[in-house]
Amino acid sequence: MSATILVVEDEGIVAESIRAVLLGAGYDVPETAPSGMSALEAAARIEPRLVLMDIQLEGPIDGIETARRLREEFGVRVIYLTGSTDEETLSRAKETAPLGYLKKPFNARELRIAVEIALQQAGLENALAAREQWFATTLESIGDAVLTNDTDRRVTFLNSAAESLLGVSRDAALGRPLGDIVRLVDEHDAAFTKLVHAALHERVTTPLPLAARLRPRRPNGEGSSPDVQANRAARSYTECLEIEVEGTVAPINGEGGVVAGSVMVFRDVRTRRRLERRLAMAERLAAIGTMAAGMQHEINNPLATIIANVHYALDVIHGKAGRPPASLSDLAEIAAALQDASEGAERVRRTVDDLKHISRGDDIEKRPVQLTAALEEAVRATANAVRHHATIRRDYAPAPPVVASEAELTRVFMNLILNAAQAMGDGDAEHHTILLTTSTDASGRAVVEVHDDGPGIPNEVLHRIFDPFFTPNLPKQSPAVGLGLSMCHAIVTSLGGEIEADSEVGRGTTFRVSLPAAPVTTSRTPTLPPARRSDAPAAPTARRGKVLVIDDEPSIGKAIRRILIRDHDVTLETDAREALALIAQESFDVVFCDLMMPRMSGMDFFDAVSRSAPPQAKKIVFLTGGAFSPRSEEFLQSVENTCLPKPFSREIVTSVVRTMVGE
């Protein structure tokens, strides 16, 4: 298809002669225009690809102004036809970026060559502009922030995502030094500078440091677009200043392979981190759900023992009320029943402690942990879930301690044990085995292996088993296991370790966890202050003590009074406010106080006593059922008073009282 050309010439004869040459060369020239205004009207009708424009035109606008408007309104370029060569005219003409000049008079050959070259150049420029528009649209559409700089490290481009992330408008950023707009904070800043240098001078594409934190530099909010300002208002100041990102820095290659600058692509990973934390929580809760189903058995069985034996003892005692026992065997039977109840209660206490320890999502403090301790805790927690599927065997060789959160490590081993059990089906436990081993590899790393003799995992899915929600060879009623493997992978890798699976169909699966050994330290293990050691040797009781028990659960106070009443005077209160008034009138050797109470907490009671009767504050022993709030955790760390976790034994209570009364 031939190109459409518009001729703008106020001399009719010249215009027609040019039109004739162009028609002869195969171009389409529907009409000519004698003035700038008529040229604009004609361009709207015929949509030319090229305009031959006389600079000197009659009318309100000359050829140069007409050319400017043609480009702005229709995107069409011109070849100037001029008989004038003065500098002022040429300078004005250059501002409109013409495709060429033809100085009058010119011949037909010169005209054809000029038009051919101009059309070729216009085609290339249009293609380039379209490509640039495509890239610009793409860069604006992607969610990643893109920022480029030249070899002088001045910003040359940033997309909308970068504007939003950095909190600076494009107009305010362009031409500014890169360091004025963005940097990586703390130890990553120097590394970031090296990455930009490597991109500019060594042509190296490098990822940003893992978990880098980006700090937008936007003093006083200047240069912000309205949208950016609104976005900033929706976020906290700290979030605006430091943003966790990941991405790359790469060179931009110009003509001849010469580096023209660098491009940074980075993304805000805070949303992903939040989703990862929510997924981890879902995994943890799902794992706890599976564990709790097993622990229901571990709690209900001993509870049945406790209830049955206590009822038996009560029946015997009530039956003998007012009469001496028929024989000492009656008392022996009552004692045996109560002993069984006590053992059942202790079993429940251990089970609840295991559940509390394993399920705590905030227990992330890392310390040296023995692998066998975490493994045994996992075995206890999963015992009921496993016993219908397989028998657990152990082969523990020496392995170094590892630095980890014991609760997290226990959850890893729980999930691996549950995977092994569930893979082997239900009801044939005596023919299936789960083997737990520990060892030290050649590099000194601690290794745990969990092996089952189940059906195995096919090779085509083995590489996916650590993906979230992927559940190979497992029944649908065990969702925690599929979630758990991805959680295991995340925890182990966060500790600098590795987790691998080796499986053969028909022969079973082995999960192998290897972790760096904890560094050897020669420092002594710190000990608690004597006042906090509830298991310290008891001092002999020199006198009958005065004990105050404050607990909103009346049964707790009654139980402590039964334990102590033979040797001490015990006063009970269920409201800390009443106890505070009592302490104002008399002193006590020991004050047992529940930490969490509805009207006045143990913490508030302690503060009040510290102000009104400081010596009595030192006599307070806190009781807690373990439902710690952040405030109570911080409080217990700040005081030296002893804290007894519920349930507590008779021996611990009497030991604490003997020690404090004897002081």
Separation CA 357–CA 353 (nearest Å): 6
More confident of the two residues 243 and 126: 126
Residue 250 shares a structural domain with residue 310: no
Residue carrying the six token digits 């060559």: 113
Q: Has residue 647 been placed in a domain?
A: yes
Residue 525 lies in a domain: no
Domain encompassing residue 197 = 142-268
Residue 483 predicted with pLDDT over 90: no
Q: Contact, 549 vs 572, CB < 8 A?
A: yes
Q: Tell me: pLDDT of 280 over 60.
A: yes
HEC states along 286-349? HHHHHHHHHHHHHHHHHHHHHHHHHHHHHHHHHHCCCCCCCCHHHHHHHHHHHHHHHHHHHHHH
Provide the pLDDT confidence category of residue 196 given band limits of 50, 70 and 90.
Answer: low
Q: Kind of pairing, strands 259-268 and 590-594? A: unpaired
The answer as to whether 654 is a domain residue is yes
Per-residue confidence band for 542, with pLDDT thresholds at 50, 70 and 90:
low
| CATH number of domain containing 74 | 3.40.50.2300
Q: Which of 74, 106, 137 is the last residue of a domain?
A: 137
CATH code at position 414: 3.30.565.10
Q: Are 243 and 165 in contact (CB under 8 A)?
A: yes
The structure tokens 């952040």 sit at 630
The residue-averaged pLDDT of 78-101 equals 84
Flag whether 275 is in a domain.
no
Please determine, for residue 370, whether its predicted confidence score (pLDDT) is greater than 60.
yes
Say if 521 falls within a structural domain: no
How high is the pLDDT of residue 50? Answer: 92
pLDDT of residue 517: 92
Does 93 share its domain with 171?
A: no
Q: Which whole number is the average pLDDT over 499-517?
A: 90
Distance (Å) of CA 510 to CA 270, 451, 464, 614: 35, 4, 15, 60
Q: Are residues 545 and 473 in the same domain?
A: no
Give, in order, the Cα–Cα distances in Å from 398 to each of 77, 370, 441, 447. 82, 10, 11, 10
Q: How many residues does the chain have?
A: 663
pLDDT digits (tens, 9 = 90+) for 141-193: 787 888 888 888 899 988 888 888 888 888 888 998 887 877 665 544 445 55
Confidence of residue 572 (pLDDT cuts 50, 70, 90): very high
φ, ψ (nearest 5 deg) of residue 549 = -115, 125
User: Taking the mean position of all CA atoms in its chain, how far away is CA 40?
Assistant: 59
Which amino acid does the sequence have at 236? S
Radius of gyration, alpha carbons of the chain: 42
Q: What tens digit of pLDDT does each residue of 319-348 get?
A: 654 555 555 566 777 777 777 777 777 777
Range of weakest confidence among 111-125, 240-254, 606-620? 240-254
SS3 60: coil
What local confidence, expressed as pLDDT, does residue 405 receive? 83
Tell me how far apart the alpha carbons of residues 484 and 151 are, in angstroms, rounded to a whole number: 49
Helix, strand, coil shares, percent, the chain, to 5: 50, 20, 30
pLDDT tens, residue by residue, 422-463: 887 766 777 889 999 999 999 999 999 999 988 888 887 787
* 8 Å CB contact between 2 and 28: yes
Q: Is the pLDDT of residue 232 over 80?
A: no
Mean pLDDT of 69-84: 88
Please report whether residue 524 resides in a domain.
no
Does pLDDT of 505 surpass 70? yes
What's the mean pLDDT in 364-370?
80
